[in-house]
Amino acid sequence: MMQRIGLAPLLRETVATPYSDLVTRSTGAALRTRIEETISTASHRTTMLDFTAVGLIDFSCADEVVAQLLLRVAGEEEHYVLLFGVSEHHLEAIDHVLERHGLSVAALPVGEGAPRVLGFASPDVAMAFQAIQRLGAGDAKRLGESLGWTVERAADALQSLALRRLIQAAGGTYRPLPLPA
Amino acid sequence: MRVIDVPVSLEDRTLDQLAEGIGAWPPEPFLLNAHGTTWASPYGLVSLLTLGQALHEAKLPRARFAVPESAETRSYWSRIGFFHWASDLFELVGRATRRPFDTPSDVLLPITPIRAFDDVSTVVGKIQERAQRILASEINLAPKASVRFVMTLSEVCQNIIEHAGTGGWVAVQTYYWKKRLGRKVVVIAVSDAGIGFRRSLEATQARQVGERWGDGAALELALMHNVSRYRDPGRGQGLYHIRSYLTRWQGKISVRSGTARIAIVPPWDDDPALAEQLPFFPGSQVQITIPAQEEGDPQ
């Protein structure tokens, strides 16, 4: 099960603005606090932040809403974050602030069928992430065969993905994050 | 009473003349004489307001301000909102319409105070529709580049709230730079009466920099090295992004604070990259200039 948090409605509830832009660090911090409260009241392992109907997002707000949220979630056991409805206008700011912190997140951009990694990702991590979206659940052997890698190389990439909460790990196997229906 | 003449044309290059006239800070009471002034850029106008605000915050008497003789100049200054705000900060001498009306078509954002984060959100929300239309039709910025422009505006306005410790002003206007560039430009002008870059960074940076520490060194750290007074790596990124966008658009940013001015200078301009030991002017002033894009320019 996945928890969906619509950022545009949450913004209006949080800062009483007629606009749908995620701008300023203080707006971002207020919104993140609301997101954290919402996450803490639910038992879902995956939270989907829905950017649908969000206008633009600036760097300061992206830093608070996405980067600082991931830093906090990293302290919780097995909680995953997926970005949904991310438009071309949002990608640049989010990607950059995550890279700056050495963080990454899975995001499903508007009009794309599969998620991609935003933020920091080594070439192996990026390739393995894409492959897992195609292959579905599996293990290092299966991924290695698919990409023509040794099992060790595939296992390293999978471990990096799991540590970054970009895939879910379960008893030696891995599976992609659940996507919205 | 001392009379300080406002330059005939008040803009980023001539602000130093005005600062020189004011002299040491805090200044003796003076009359600011704009009687012969025929033109002022948004940068010039928000800087004048900053001067009035700085006097007010220093609890000095309000300066008298002789309005321009030219009816056309007065009318324009009214329409961009200057007299509306100036009437709170100066004792205006001469006839001027204080209420802003009928914003000129080349003004994307009339002079607007930035006192809190909410003001930044409002500015961003308000400017988008107008900015996208004008930036597309007159500056030839692609829609994606227009979004970056608004993000730039947001970050530069936030700098006021985060670092100045007081409020400031912003204005956005397009105009034709016939002599300097031969193209239309869009200009963002921001000015605040705050503590300036040197004082903002002093506690964390002065000791490391050593003898060279001053307004120039502080500006260099902030603009060229993304240094912020906060230790969080997510901070200090606003100016970095502004810089990277401007490089793409062959744009220019110039930041004046205290007695120094730093600029990222595109090929079409000849400003020095760093000017130090300028006459003191209160607060910080930022001007961002983006020239109209031509076919083949990267966006």
Render pLDDT for A105-145 as a digit per residue (tens, 0 to 9): 999 999 998 999 999 999 999 999 999 999 999 999 999 99
Pairs of residues, one from chain A and one from chain B, whose beta carbons lie less than 8 Å apart: 71
pLDDT at B163: 74
Tell me which residue in A58, A67, A88 faces B144 most closely, judged by beta carbons: A88
Residue B186 contacts residue B172 (beta carbons within 8 Å): yes
Residues A163-169 have a mean pLDDT of 93
Q: Would you call B129 an interface residue with chain A, using a CB distance cutoff of 8 Å? A: no
Q: Give the integer Cα–Cα distance in Å for A119 and B83.
A: 47
Residue appearing with tokens 């879910």 = A168
Residue B267 and residue B204 in one domain:
yes
Residue B43 contacts residue B189 (beta carbons within 8 Å): yes
pLDDT at B101: 63
pLDDT at B239: 78
Q: Give the integer Cα–Cα distance in Å for B273 and B220.
A: 10
Residue B27 and residue B121 in one domain:
no
Residue B75 contacts residue B108 (beta carbons within 8 Å): no
Better pLDDT: A148 or A16 = A148
B273-to-A80, B220, B237, B261 alpha-carbon distances in Å? 46, 10, 20, 8
Q: Give the integer Cα–Cα distance in Å for B202 and B205.
A: 5
- Helices marked H in A41-139: 59-62, 69-73, 88-101, 123-135
Kindly indicate the confidence band of residue A51, based on its pLDDT and cuts at 50, 70 and 90: very high
Residues A26-46 have a mean pLDDT of 93
Residue B22 contacts residue B52 (beta carbons within 8 Å): no
Residue B128 and residue B80 in one domain:
no
Percent of residues, chain A, with pLDDT higher than 90: 82
Amino acid at B163: H
Residue B93 and residue B152 in one domain:
no
Residue to substitute from B115, B128, B132, B147, interface A, most A β-carbons within 10 A: B147
Residue B204 and residue B279 in one domain:
yes
Is the peptide bond prior to B26 cis by the omega test (within 30 degrees of 0)?
Answer: yes
Residue A49 contacts residue A3 (beta carbons within 8 Å): no
**B252-258, strands of its sheet edge to edge:** B107-114, B168-177, B183-192, B281-291, B252-258, B260-264, B274-275
CATH at B22: 3.30.750
pTM, whole model, 2 decimals?
0.88
Residue B75 and residue B187 in one domain:
no
Residue appearing with tokens 């400017």 = B127
Q: Chain A: give the shortest CA distance to residue B147, in Å.
A: 7
pLDDT at B234: 64
Residue B156 and residue B298 in one domain:
yes
Taking the domains of chain A in order of start, what are their residue ranges? 1-119, 121-181
Tell me which residue in A27, A59, A101 faces B121 most closely, judged by beta carbons: A27
Residue B88 and residue B126 in one domain:
no
Residue B157 burial (10 A CB sphere; 0-12, 13-18, 19+): buried
Provide the CA B63 distance to its chain's centre, in angstroms: 21
Provide the CA A13 distance to its chain's centre, in angstroms: 23
Kindly indicate the confidence band of residue A43, based on its pLDDT and cuts at 50, 70 and 90: confident
pLDDT at B138: 84
Residue B80 and residue B125 in one domain:
no
Domain at A121-181, CATH class? mainly alpha
Residue B26 and residue B145 in one domain:
no
Residue B73 and residue B148 in one domain:
no
A-chain residue closest to B122, CA distance: A19
Q: Burial letters for B61-74: b for 16+ Cβ neighbours within 10 Å, e otherwise?
A: eebbbbbbebeebb
pLDDT at A69: 96
Q: What is the mean pLDDT of chain A?
A: 93
Nearest alpha carbon to residue B113 among B172, B161, B170, B173: B170
Partners of B235 on chain A (C-beta within 8 Å) are: 63
pLDDT at B228: 79
pLDDT at B298: 62
Q: What are phi and psi of A124, to 5 degrees?
A: -65, -40
CATH at B183: 3.30.565.10
Q: Give the integer Cα–Cα distance in Å for A54 and A60.
A: 15
The boundaries of the domain holding residue B8 are 1-98
* Residues sharing a CB contact under 8 Å with residue A11, sequence separation 6 or more, in sequence order: A17, A20, A22, A27, A31, A54
pLDDT at B160: 82
Q: What is the CATH number of domain A1-119?
A: 3.30.750
Q: Chain B: give the shortest CA distance to residue A86, in Å.
A: 14
Partners of B124 on chain A (C-beta within 8 Å) are: 19, 21, 23, 56, 58
* Residues sharing a CB contact under 8 Å with residue B204, sequence separation 6 or more, in sequence order: B227, B229, B231
Q: Would you call B120 an interface residue with chain A, using a CB distance cutoff of 8 Å? A: yes
Partners of A18 on chain B (C-beta within 8 Å) are: 125
Kindly indicate the confidence band of residue A90, based on its pLDDT and cuts at 50, 70 and 90: very high
Partners of B158 on chain A (C-beta within 8 Å) are: 24-25, 58, 60
| Parts of chain B with a pLDDT under 50 | none
Residue B8 burial (10 A CB sphere; 0-12, 13-18, 19+): middle
Q: Give the integer Cα–Cα distance in Å for B155 and B239.
A: 7
Residue B120 contacts residue B134 (beta carbons within 8 Å): no
Residue B3 and residue B91 in one domain:
yes
pLDDT at B131: 79
Identify the domain boundary among B54, B78, B98: B98
Output the six-digit token pair for B235.
């901070």
